[in-house]
């Protein structure tokens, strides 16, 4: 993980734009798993405001879930996103629960 990523306002802002464009339809605008597409998904999209996703120690796990997808779920891989873009989304998701 890039140093200072989780506290970077620039990374969070960029990640928020990426999240709104690519993630909110499933995970919801607030990252709570209540996006408009969730009704058609089994299992439902993850609530990213809860551990392990919200835990800073799991930032690498979240990065891999975005990059590679999650087998057995509707979570696809995102090969069109650069490493920096994925890390920015990770910073945004972490910020969902930060004071």
Task: Examine the pLDDT at 29 and tell me if it is beyond 80.
Answer: yes
Please tell me whether the overall predicted TM-score, pTM, comes out greater than 0.75 for this model.
Answer: yes
**93 or 2, which is more confident:** 93
Among residues 88, 98, 97, which one has the least CA distance to residue 23?
A: 88
pLDDT tens-digit series, residues 55-75: 889 999 999 999 999 999 999
Domain containing 18 equals: 5-95
CATH number reported for the structural domain that contains residue 65 in this entry:
1.10.760.10
Tally of structural domains, the chain: 1
């Amino acid at each position: 993980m890039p140093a200072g990523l989780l506290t970077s306002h620039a990374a969070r802002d960029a990640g928020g734009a990426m999240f709104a464009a690519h993630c909110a339809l499933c995970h919801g605008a607030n990252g709570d798993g209540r996006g408009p597409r969730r009704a058609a998904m089994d299992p439902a999209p993850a609530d990213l405001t809860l551990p392990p996703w919200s835990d800073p120690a799991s930032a690498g796990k979240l990065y891999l879930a975005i990059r590679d997808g999650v087998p057995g779920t509707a979570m696809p891989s995102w090969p069109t996103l650069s490493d920096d873009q994925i890390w920015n989304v990770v910073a945004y998701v972490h910020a969902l629960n930060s004071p």
